[in-house]
Amino acid sequence: MPSSFNTLDLFSSGPHRFIVGPMGSQLIENTLIAPTTPGRQAIGPQDGDVTIRGRLIAGSDEDLWSLITAITEQITDPPTAADLVDSNAHSFKNMSFISLTLLAPFDRARQTSVPYEAKFTQFGAWA
């Protein structure tokens, strides 16, 4: 089963991994509220973050740019919440696509490829 965002298969042109961010409470240093007060306090749940790191692979530069365009079209303002599903069918509900970063120049050999990092968040904690 291919991974998907908003039911679209965006990342399966090459290998990719899902990295799940921390879960739990956000903490704030008390010194930010009262400069002489030591310690920290919980201020609410952390947003749920998932990062996909991988490599986009295509037959040519033009085809690779088509993949990149299809992905970046899913980054909206304001962010759209949709399901993010990994290749093992685990679903992260109500995720918003935040950014796509190309991590290096295009590699050109038999195929054209580029490593990337895509960041998603679920505003207001894991559901």
pLDDT in tens, 40-96: 888 877 778 999 999 999 999 999 999 999 999 999 999 989 999 998 888 999 999
For 3-12, 16-25, 77-86, 115-124, which range has the lowest pLDDT when averaged over its residues?
16-25
pTM of whole model > 0.85? no
Q: Give the length of the chain.
A: 127
Helix then strand count (H, E) for the chain reads 1, 9
Residues 94 and 81 sit within 8 Å (Cβ to Cβ): yes
Residue 35 binned pLDDT confidence (cut-offs 50, 70, 90): confident
What's the confidence (pLDDT) of residue 21?
87
Domains recognised in the chain with CATH numbers? 4-122 (2.40.30)
Check pLDDT > 60 for residue 127.
Answer: no
Phi, psi for residue 61 in degrees, rounded to 5: -60, -45
**What's the rounded Cα separation, in Å, for the pair 2 and 59?**
20
Q: Measured between alpha carbons, how far is 84 from 12 in angstroms, rounded to an integer?
A: 13
